[in-house]
Structure 1
Amino acid sequence: MTSTTPSQEDPAMTAQTPATTDAPSVPAARTPLSWDALRGRLTGRLALPGQPGYELAIPWNVAVPVQPQAVVAAADAEDVAAVVRFARSHGLTVAVQRTGHGAVPLDASSVMVHTGALDEVSVDVEGRWARVGAGATWQQVLDAATPHGLAPLCGSAPGIGVAGFLTGGGLGPIARSVGVSSDHVRAVEVVTGEGRLRRATPTEHRELFWGLRGGKGTLGVVTAVEIDLLPIAELVGGCLWFDGADAAAVTEAWRRLCEALPEEGTTSLAFAQLPPLPQLPPQIAGRLTVAVRFAWLGEPAHAEELLAPLLAAATPVLGGVGPMPYSAIGSIHADPVDPMPVHEQVSLLRELPAEAVSALVAAAGPGSGSLQTIVEVRHLGGAVAREPQRRSAFCHRDTAFTVLAIGVPVPDPGAVAADASRVLASLAPWTTGARFPNFGASADPAEVARAYDPETLRWLGMLAEQYDPAGVLRVGAVVRTQAHTG
C-alpha cells in the first residue's frame, strides 16, 4: 500500500502539472550580506556565533554537529518569512528547529529559525480541535486539552515539538487505534521557499496540505497547525519490565500478543541496556531488561485477558498496566527528557514470524554483546494501515512493525553504528527496505528517499521546485530534485 498522491486524490491535478497555486517568483539577485539589515526586519532576536541566543542551535541529540551561520529566535510567522526572503537573496539555506530530536548536521551555509516562541495553544472545547503554534511541545497541548477530556495525538515523548512530529506523519502510543497523527491535522500555516505565508487545508493549497503531512520540511517552514482532539479522557496503559534472562520467552509471548491484538490496543517491545544511574530503579539500571509497552482503549477486563499469556511467560521485575489518565500517556514509554548523544538506525518489517524473534533475541538479547541502549520493535497495522479521508504524503502504511536501534556513540561512534547495522541485518529477511520520516533522522538523499514510494517522492520533488525554486529550504531531511542534489 502506498500513499495517495495529489493526482490520485483529485483528477484535475496531473503529474505533468503539479498544482494550481501562486506563480513562483524568479529567484532574486544576491545582495551583500548584512545581518544588521535582517535584524531591523525582525521582532525576534538574531544571534551570530558567540552571541547570546546562538545556543538555541544546540539540538537535543548533542552528537549532531549543528553550526549555522546565524540563529533567529522567531517571534512570529512574519519573522520566519523575513528570514526566508533574506536567505534567498543571499544564497543561504534555512533550517528550522524546536527541540532538535531529529537533528541532522548543519553548517554555515544555513540560517537556523528557532520556533520556540511560536508556542500558542488554544483549544476549542465544543468543536474538539486546537490551534497550536509550531514552537509548542506536545506537553503544552496535553496540559491545555486534557482537563476538558480531550486527547491530542502526541508521540511517545510529549517533550518533542508538535510541528516536526506531524510533518513526519507521527506514530503515537495509540496509533493502531486512531491512525497516524498527521491524519488528524485540519490546517497548516507555512512559509514556503519564496518567503510567503500560506494556509493549507483540504480545500486551500491542497497539494501543500498533502505534502506537508509526511514530507517533513520539504515544502516549507510550518508556523502553526490546527488539529483534531479526540474525546479520550482515560485509557489502560503502562509498561512491564522483564529480566533480560527471560528475553526469548517474553519476546515470543509478545509476538503472539500482537497476532491476537484488536485495534483497541497498541504495543511495543524494547531490549533496554540502561546505564547504572542512581535516578533509575535498581531493577532496570545497569542491566539488560525487556520492556513491553501497552496502551488499550477498550474494556479494561479485555486488556487483562490479552496480557495474561505474557505474564505467564515470565514475572515482571518492575512496572504494571492499568487505568490511567490520558494526560499521563508519556509515562508508557518514559523516553529520556534531557539532551544526550544518540545514534539511530531503523528498519521496517513486513512481518515478525517466530524465526525473526529468534534472530532478534540472538542479536540484541542475553550474550549478544549488543552495544545498543535500546532496540525497539513497534507493532503497527490497525488504523495505521488504512488510507485516511485527508490524503497525505505519509507512505508505507502497510508496515507491520518498525525496528529502531538507539545507541550512545561514546566513546566509539563507529563501533556503535556498526553494531546497530549488525542488529538490523539480523532481521534482513523480513525487512522492506523502507523507513519512516521521523525515525533515524538523516540528510542523506538516499536515506530520505527510503521514506517514500517512487510516485510520492516524485511529487514532493516537483512541488518543492514549485514552492522553493531557489532551493532555500533544501537542507537537511528534505526531498531534493536532481538539480539541487549534492
Structure 2
Amino acid sequence: MAAFEPEQPQANADFNALRQHLAGALFEPGEPGYAALSAPWNAAIATSPAAVVAVASAKDVAEAVKFAAAAGMPVAVQATGHGIASDMDGALLIQTGALDECTIHPEGWATTGGGVLWSTVLAAAAPSGLAGLCGSAPGVSVAGYTTGGGIGPLVRSHGAASDRVRAFEVVTGDGQIRRATAETEPELFWGLRGGKGSLGIVTSVEFDLLLQPEIYAGALYFGADDDAEVARAWSQWCPTLPAAATTSLALLRLPPLPGIPEPLAGKFTAAVRFVYTGGTDDGARALAPLRAVATPLIDAVATMPFAQIGMVHSDPEESMPATEYSTLLGGFAGPAVDALMEAAGPGTASRQLMVELRQLGGAFAREPEVPSVLSHRGVGYSLYTVGVAPPPELGPLAENARGVHGAVGQWSTGASLPNFAAGAGQAGFAACYSPEALERLTALANRYDPDHLFRLGQVPMRG
C-alpha cells in the first residue's frame, strides 16, 4: 500500500484567527510557554511545531482541529509527551494538560479529563479504597496510556486498562466532538481502545475502578553473581503463578547518581518485580521460590497502599535522551533465557539501561466482553529495552539494542504493543495489530480523520 501523501501546509498560517476562538492559549515559536509546552519526555527529540495550543476545553480542541484541516497542517497531541517520537515539524500541537477534571464516583468509577495523570487518580481514589488500573509509571496521562491499551503491573490480574473504559469524549479528525460508548458509537469505541492516536484526540475518559486499597508488591534486587540463576528460576516460576500475580524481570545497569540506592548504583543487577492482588500471606507464599534462589541485595516487597504502586518499577520521571525498542515473545524458557543472558547479562556488550521482560497471560489473554482493537492477547511475554545516552551516542546505543533483541529473535512473534512502539514508525505501528484489526482500524481512520491530520502520531499507513 502506498503511503498517504498529505497536502502541503499553507505558509504563514494566521494563528490570530484561531486565537479568537479559543478559551485557552496559543503560543508560536519564540513566545513564552512554547518551549515548555512542546517538550517531549524523550530529550533526544527536538520538536518544532508551528504553534502550540494549550486547550481549555473540548471545544478548543475542535476549533484547533478544524483550523489545522483548513490550513493543511498535521496535528499532534500531548499531555506529558511520553508518546511523542516525531519532531512535529510544521504541526499544530494540541497540549491537553489543562483538561484536568478528575472525579471519583464512590460506586466505583472515575471521570478524567484528557490531561489527567494516573498519579492524580490514585491519590483521589485512595480514600475510598479504590484504585485505577494504571501502568508502571503513574506520571503518564490516563488518556494516552489507555488508548494504547494500558498494559501495567496488574495486567494478569485485571487485564488491560482499555478493557475498563465506559466512555470516551473525543474530537475526531473531522473536528466533531463525539461521545463514544459501546452503544452510541460502537465502531469508534472499538478503535479507541488500543488504537492510540489514530482516530482522534481524547478529551475525557470514563472508566471503572478497582476495589483494591492495598497490594503485596515491590521488587527483589539481586547482584550480578546471581543473575543467570535468577533469570532461569524466574522463567520456570512464571508458568506456576496464579492470575493474582503479575511479574517482570529487569536486567539493570543503573548509573551512580543521587537517589539510586548504593547497592544498585553503578552496578549490574537483576530485579524481579512482583504485584499480588490477593492477601499478604498468599503473596508471600507465591514469591517464596524466588526469594529462595539467592540472597537479594534489597528485598523491597511488602504490603503497601495501592497508591504507591509506582514504587514497584521505580521508573524515572525526569526527561532524558533515550532509545526504546520492544517486541513480544511467544515464550521465555531454557535456550531463550541463555540467549538473552549471553547478550545482556553482566560482562556482555549490552549498554542498555534496562532490559525488561514482562509476563503476560492471565486476564489479559481473555477477550473482553466488549471487543477492542487491542491485539496479540495470546502472547506470553513482552521484551522492552531502554538505553540512555547523550544524543551523539544514541545511534550506537540503538544498534546495541537491536543486537539484544536479535539474540532472542527466534522466539519473537514480530509483534509489539502500542504503548511500547512510539518510535517504531508506521511498520512498527502495524505490528501492534492483527491484519484483520489493522484493516478495520485503517478504515475507521479514513472515516474519522479524512484529511489525515494525525499522520505524525502512531497511525496506520493509508493509500
TM-score (norm 1): 0.91
| Aligned equivalent of 2:375, options 392, 395, 400 | 395
Q: Which residue in 2 is equivalent to 1:343?
A: 323
Q: Which residue in 1 is equivalent to 2:194?
A: 214
| Aligned equivalent of 2:339, options 359, 367, 375 | 359
Q: Which residue in 1 is equivalent to 2:183?
A: 203
Q: Which residue in 2 is equivalent to 1:409?
A: 389
Cα drift, residue 409 of structure 1:
3.5
- Sort the Cα spacing of 1:477 and 1:409 in 2 relative to 1 into closer, same or farther, 3 A: farther
Alpha-carbon distance in structure 1 between the residues aligned to 2:274 and 2:297: 16
Instruction: Identify which range, 59-68 or 212-221, moves more after superposition.
Output: 59-68
8 Å CA contact 2:131, 2:306 repeated in 1: yes
Q: Which residue in 2 is equivalent to 1:90?
A: 71
TM-superposition CA deviations, 1:246-285 (whole Å, max 9, x none): 1101111111220110001000010000111022111000
1:271 aligns with 2:227: no
1:188 aligns with 2:155: no
1:132 aligns with 2:132: no
8 Å CA contact 1:106, 1:476 repeated in 2: no
TM-superposition CA deviations, 1:217-246 (whole Å, max 9, x none): 100000000010111111100111110221
1:113 aligns with 2:86: no
8 Å CA contact 2:198, 2:457 repeated in 1: no
Alpha-carbon distance in structure 2 between the residues aligned to 1:156 and 1:30: 41
Query: Pairwise mapping of residues 3-22 of structure 1 onto structure 2 (< 5 A)?
Result: none
Alpha-carbon distance in structure 2 between the residues aligned to 1:133 and 1:476: 20
1:78 aligns with 2:59: yes
Alpha-carbon distance in structure 2 between the residues aligned to 1:102 and 1:226: 21
Q: Which residue in 2 is equivalent to 1:52?
A: 32
Query: Pairwise mapping of residues 291-302 of structure 1 onto structure 2 (< 5 A)?
Result: 291-302=271-282
- Sort the Cα spacing of 1:205 and 1:323 in 2 relative to 1 into closer, same or farther, 3 A: same
Cα drift, residue 322 of structure 1:
1.5
| Aligned equivalent of 1:313, options 283, 293, 300 | 293
8 Å CA contact 2:76, 2:88 repeated in 1: no
Alpha-carbon distance in structure 2 between the residues aligned to 1:267 and 1:349: 15
Alpha-carbon distance in structure 1 between the residues aligned to 2:424 and 2:382: 20
Cα drift, residue 31 of structure 1:
10
Alpha-carbon distance in structure 1 between the residues aligned to 2:355 and 2:10: 47
Amino acid at match of 1:72: V
| Aligned equivalent of 2:127, options 133, 144, 147 | 147
Instruction: Identify which range, 262-271 or 302-311, moves more after superposition.
Output: 302-311
- Sort the Cα spacing of 1:309 and 1:38 in 2 relative to 1 into closer, same or farther, 3 A: same
Cα drift, residue 442 of structure 1:
2.3
Q: Which residue in 2 is equivalent to 1:304?
A: 284
Task: Percent identity, please.
Answer: 48
Q: Which residue in 2 is equivalent to 1:22?
A: none
Alpha-carbon distance in structure 1 between the residues aligned to 2:424 and 2:228: 36
Q: Which residue in 1 is equivalent to 2:13?
A: 33
Q: Which residue in 2 is equivalent to 1:452?
A: 433
| Aligned equivalent of 2:449, options 453, 468, 485 | 468
Amino acid at match of 2:446: E
Alpha-carbon distance in structure 2 between the residues aligned to 1:461 and 1:409: 36
Alpha-carbon distance in structure 2 between the residues aligned to 1:117 and 1:278: 32
Q: Which residue in 2 is equivalent to 1:424?
A: 405
Cα drift, residue 143 of structure 1:
1.0
SS at match of 2:341: helix
8 Å CA contact 2:197, 2:459 repeated in 1: yes
Q: Which residue in 2 is equivalent to 1:102?
A: 83
Gaps of 5+ in 1: 1-26
- Sort the Cα spacing of 1:443 and 1:356 in 2 relative to 1 into closer, same or farther, 3 A: closer
Q: Which residue in 1 is equivalent to 2:226?
A: 246
Cα drift, residue 30 of structure 1:
7.4
Alpha-carbon distance in structure 1 between the residues aligned to 2:327 and 2:455: 25
Alpha-carbon distance in structure 2 between the residues aligned to 1:32 and 1:64: 24
| RMSD of aligned residue pairs (Cα, Å) | 1.4
Amino acid at match of 1:68: P
8 Å CA contact 1:135, 1:162 repeated in 2: yes
Cα drift, residue 190 of structure 1:
0.3
8 Å CA contact 2:26, 2:54 repeated in 1: yes
Amino acid at match of 1:244: A
Amino acid at match of 2:394: P
Instruction: Give the number of aligned pairs.
Output: 454
